[in-house]
């Protein structure tokens, strides 16, 4: 009996490889997004710390020029947050596009796997049919041989 050989095996491997590449790209996008989100949290903590240090400095006698630093510092941090939020928005768009790509890649793999399953089922039925024919033929021969032996005796 011939062993099952799927003719589209190479194409299936290519499609599966494409699916895994898209999955890894999705993971990279999520990693970047998480990194930017944690950076925003760190910047917000820096802003809170700056407000606290400004309040402590206000309790002591300090030069007014030194206090002018804080609004610029805080504004710079807020601008940095806005830049990171824009980057996150861009990553969200990329993520949605990659999800669509992943959906298409999975659909392509599914189609080929369905073809493979059908071909495999067909092959199994053919093999089973051939085995049954062999068994039937063997059974008929056995019966024939028994009859011949009985008639010959």
* Residue-level pLDDT at 106: 95
- Let me know: does 11 contact 112? Beta carbons within 8 Å: yes
Task: Give the residue, 58 or 45, on which the prediction is more confident.
Answer: 45
Most confident of 47-61, 115-129, 132-146: 115-129
Is residue 49 predicted with pLDDT exceeding 80? Answer: yes
Is residue 153 predicted with pLDDT exceeding 80? Answer: no
Spatial CB neighbours of 94, under 8 Å, sequence gap ≥ 6: 29
Is residue 152 predicted with pLDDT exceeding 70? Answer: no
| pLDDT tens-place string over residues 67-99 | 778 889 999 999 999 999 999 999 999 999 999
Is residue 1 predicted with pLDDT exceeding 70? Answer: no
Whether domain 16-152 has CATH 1.10.287? yes
* Residue-level pLDDT at 59: 79
Per domain, the residue ranges of the chain are: 16-152
What is the rounded (10 degree) CA torsion for 30, 31, 32, 34? 80
């Amino acid at each position: 009996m011939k062993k099952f050989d799927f003719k589209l095996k190479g194409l299936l491997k290519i499609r599966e490889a494409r699916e895994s590449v898209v999955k890894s790209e999705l993971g990279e996008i999520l990693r970047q997004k998480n990194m930017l989100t944690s950076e925003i949290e760190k910047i917000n903590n820096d802003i809170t710390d700056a407000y606290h240090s400004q309040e402590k400095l206000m309790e002591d006698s300090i030069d007014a020029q030194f206090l002018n630093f804080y609004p610029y510092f805080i504004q710079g941090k807020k601008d940095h947050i806005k830049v990171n939020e824009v980057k996150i928005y861009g990553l969200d768009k990329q993520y949605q596009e990659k999800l669509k790509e992943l959906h298409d890649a999975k659909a392509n793999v599914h189609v080929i796997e369905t073809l493979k399953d059908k071909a495999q089922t067909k092959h199994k039925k053919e093999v089973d049919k051939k085995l049954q024919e062999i068994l039937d033929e063997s059974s008929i021969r056995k019966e024939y041989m028994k009859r011949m032996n009985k008639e010959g005796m």
